Amino acid sequence: MLSIATFLFVFTILSFIQVKLEKPMLLAERFIEHAGWIEIFVISIYAAFIVSKMKDTAKAPIWRLRIWILFSIVFFLQLILGLLGVEQCLMKGIEHLHLPIPALIVCGYIYRAEIGFMFIFFLSTILLSGRGAAICAILVQ
């Protein structure tokens, strides 16, 4: 039941992003028009799969490590492709590139006295992922 709820939650949130924003936020949509819907479906299935695996508390640390490794591979592959000239892999293109270093994410919003998307994204990642995200944030700094 939790996996179904997760699938529906992720599908709803990403659908809202797909429908409401003018600039394509999903990677597949940047390459092929309407391919974002396929990406939303695949990510929703992936989220449901992760929830089903993380329910087993004995194996959760193993799955958490696998999830972070997969995330890191996808993230850095996308960054490298963007740096090599595939502009669709970067949100704003190479001329406006900024690295998402956790210290800069938090300090930037403190300096500007505002709360934005990246700050909320950073905090929610730590809350949802636990020690894994906190350790990764410390290692990146």
Rg (the chain; Cα; Å): 16
From CA 77, how far away is CA 70, in angstroms rounded? 11
Q: Are 72 and 53 in contact (CB under 8 A)?
A: no
pLDDT of residue 91: 73
| pTM given for the model | 0.68
Mean pLDDT of 111-137: 64
Residue at token pair 């799969």: 49
The total of other beta-carbon atoms located within 10 Å of residue 49's CB is: 14
User: What is the tens place of the pLDDT at every residue in 88-120?
Assistant: 887 766 666 666 555 566 666 666 666 666 667
pLDDT of residue 40: 94
User: What is the tens place of the pLDDT at every residue in 47-102?
Assistant: 999 999 988 889 988 998 898 889 888 888 988 888 888 888 877 666 666 665 55
From CA 127, how far away is CA 120, in angstroms rounded? 10
pLDDT of residue 93: 60
